[in-house]
Amino acid sequence: MGVQNRVALVTGSGSGLGETTVMMLAQNGAKVVVNDVDQAKVDKVVKKIKSAGGEALGVAADISKKDQVQDLVQKIVKQFGTVDILVNNAGIARDKGLLKITEEDWDIVLDVNLKGPFLLSQTVVPYMKERKFGRIVNISSRAYLGWPTQANYASSKGGLVSFSRTLALELAKHQITVNCIAPGLIQTPLYDALPDNIKENLMKSQPTKTIGKPEDIGYGVLFFADDEADYVTGQTIFICGGKSVLSSLSV
């Protein structure tokens, strides 16, 4: 039951939602893999997990690069033997109006947010199939329903939902589940860095008038990753304080 002794890889876990999620998985008995592009961030989180008595491996890698993804997974398999749980959390945003988005802005957001989960899923699924067990949890966003200045970001996150539903159908016969979490406003370094006027506008359309905690997303991941959640697949759960119920521009 739970995630005890399962091997869990969380991408983008050097900070923010990913860091909280990987630490919660470790606290619940999983052997965790911390991944980020920044080695210093990876080392910091690994140290925190080990200091708390958890078992962790840290690997810096750019998940939008196939060779780096393959190297990442090889290192995990060498140390832990397999990957049981994959949390595709790494993501970036370059928010601009349609006429200001550059081709580079479009490509890098789609590469990290959508191509990365594809490459990782393609690389770890053979190990899951061998063991007839797997949990893939993709971190999308409420923004996939649409939001001004986020054409690239929303497209990548919407693609991730469709990707998850398709994989769920393909992999169900192998006892591999694939689900999505769509967070709303969550207190992370990315949110903290936003200008005050943008924060105010975002809060106007927030039904709860409060901001979520990274732990809120971590609990969602724990649910989908649980050994007992074997009949839940192809689903997207919104953890957004009700914002998904509103139309995109409702205030």
Domain residue ranges of the chain, discontinuous segments joined by +: 7-239
**Which numeric CATH code is attached to 7-239?**
3.40.50.720
Catalytic residue list contains 153: yes
pLDDT, residue 251, reads 42
pLDDT recorded at residue 188: 84
SS3 229: coil
Q: Which of 127, 144, 153, 191 is catalytic?
A: 153
Provide the edge-to-edge strand list for the sheet that holds 31-36. Answer: 55-60, 31-36, 7-10, 85-88, 134-139, 176-183, 236-239
Tokens of 29: 């008995």
Residue 73 has pLDDT above 80, yes or no: yes
Indicate the residue type of 53.
Answer: G
pLDDT score at 62: 98
Residue 105, Cβ neighbours under 10 Å: how many?
A: 17
CA 63 from chain centre, in angstroms, equals 12
E strands along 187-248, which residues? Answer: 236-239
Output DSSP code: residue 29: T
pLDDT mean over 159-167: 98
pTM: 0.95
The amino acid present at 67, given as its one-letter code, is D
The whole-number pLDDT of residue 199 equals 83
Q: What angle do CA 28, 30, 32 make, to 5 degrees?
A: 125
Q: Work out the average pLDDT over 50-55.
A: 98
What tens digit of pLDDT does each residue of 143-153 get? 889 888 999 99
| pLDDT tier at 201, thresholds 50, 70, 90 | confident
